[in-house]
Copies of this chain bind each other. A is one copy, B any other.
Amino acid sequence: MRESAYPMLEFDVALDRVLEHVPVLPGVERRFDEAQGWVLAEEICATEPLPPFPASTVDGFAVVAADGTAPRRLVGEQFAGHSIDLEITPGQAARITTGAPMPAGADAVMMVEWSHEEGGRVAFTRPVQPGDFIRPIGSDIASGEAVLLPGSRLGPTEIGLLAALGISKVQVHRRPVVGVMSTGDELVEPGVAPQSGQIRDSNRFSLIAALREAGMEPLDLGIVPDSWEALQAIIARGLARCDALLTSGGVSMGERDLVKPLLEQGGTIHFGRVNMKPGKPVTFATLEGKPFFALPGNPVSSLVSFEVLVRPALCKMSGLPAAAWQRPRFFAVLEQEVRHSPERPEFQRAHLRFAREVIYASTTGNQASSRLLSMLGANALLFLTGGRGDFAAGESVEALFLGG
């Protein structure tokens, strides 16, 4: 009886080992509007207050609140973007638009909806208090305030804040460039008609798309035939250009599986088997200091092991804080009975349905690891623990929310 040379790690142990061995990439400078999805490598402090002047929050009339509802004489207008040396004294008012600076002497704004204008005078239906409808200097952001912390991923809000503060260049962590190759003599490109015994490569395209979706930069390294020299050459090319490498196929126990022997020779294999289904033969190594993930060749196995072991590693490399390395996890209630073998913990593909306070999960049918259709419509992976059999409808199980 032959056995794999690699001890079987529990999933959590394997994930910890991956996270322990991947580096956080160094910082580079980028323009703020070309850094969407990148992660800040510095703290951003406001160098000036926002708003930079006391501003009206409505369209209306700048007034002295103490005048109450008494009609005022209109002495000018203050439009946003057109600053003038206007000054208001008791009994006077100036037309003002949203965002415009308050004229000197005015201490409140009357909304235009409460006003009645006639012959150079304006009357109001109600009084205001000093400060009403004024945004004081620095009320949104104080000068010196730490606005964005290292580890922030730059999305619409962060980019808007950088624009508002006039910060046009930022230090961000380099985004991982990840080389992707598929291994196996049986693989042909999708545009080629397979001959007897051949199949089209699909994993490379799935993994490249998954990398893009995760905000990483894929590099397509093509199909590698089952030859030691070819594999060495493509890996050398990948190591020269990438921060991490991904293969799929070539890691089970067949005679032609060359990936593990090559990793053993040139690098350090941190694990070669994980107690999970699908994805058992997933292998993690470092080669010339760079993370190398050898994923199984079955389409579902490669995507699931990418999701649960590779994606968190790349999130760490890209500078995200630990809390953001993994997908949101919560418990969902099973809508139907779920078949599960006690043999190994299993990630089943499922669709979540949100119904008021309760989240329900249904699996996507036949969970064969060759059946890519089981990933279709899945917005979650259910983690079914080992050591017990089928789960009943109504049981609560842990779900990784994939979004969408």
- B residues within 8 A CB of A403? 403
Checking B32, B81, B147, B191 against A187 with a beta-carbon cut-off of 8 angstroms, the contacting residue is B81
Checking B3, B114, B140, B163 against A1 with a beta-carbon cut-off of 8 angstroms, the contacting residue is B114
Write the nearest CB–CB distance from A318 to chain B, whole angstroms: 14
Q: List 8 A-B contacts (CB under 8 A).
A: A52-B199, A79-B185, A81-B186, A83-B195, A101-B196, A156-B207, A160-B209, A160-B303
For residue A368, CB closer than 8 A to chain B, the reply is yes
Known: A80-B185, A100-B186, A155-B213. A164 touches B255 (CB 8 A): no
Say whether A205 contacts B115, CB under 8 Å.
no
9 smallest A-B Cβ distances: which pairs?
A: A81-B186, A83-B197, A81-B185, A160-B206, A97-B254, A330-B354, A80-B186, A163-B202, A164-B202
Checking B147, B161, B370 against A57 with a beta-carbon cut-off of 8 angstroms, the contacting residue is B370
- A-to-B contact residues, CB < 8 Å: 1-3, 32-33, 36, 50-53, 57-59, 77, 79-83, 95, 97-101, 112-116, 125, 135, 139-141, 147-148, 153-168, 184-187, 190-191, 193-210, 212-213, 226, 252-257, 297, 299, 303, 328-331, 333, 354-359, 368, 370-373, 375-376, 378, 396, 401, 403-404
Not counting A81-B184, A156-B375, A166-B194, a sample of 17 additional A-B residue pairs whose C-beta atoms are within 8 angstroms of each other reads A3-B113, A36-B212, A50-B199, A52-B199, A59-B257, A80-B197, A97-B254, A97-B255, A99-B186, A155-B213, A155-B404, A158-B376, A163-B190, A163-B202, A163-B205, A164-B199, A166-B193
Known: A1-B116, A80-B184, A330-B359. A203 touches B155 (CB 8 A): no
Say whether B372 contacts A254, CB under 8 Å.
no
Say whether A140 contacts B83, CB under 8 Å.
no
The quantity of this chain's copies bound in the complex is 2
Give Cα distance in the complex from A371 to B167, angstroms: 17
Give Cα distance in the complex from A52 to B196, angstroms: 9
Write the nearest CB–CB distance from A187 to chain B, whole angstroms: 7
Nearest to A59 among chain B residues (CB) is B254
- B residues within 8 A CB of A193? 166
Checking B57, B163, B197, B297 against A101 with a beta-carbon cut-off of 8 angstroms, the contacting residue is B197
Say whether A190 contacts B205, CB under 8 Å.
no
- B residues within 8 A CB of A51? 199, 370
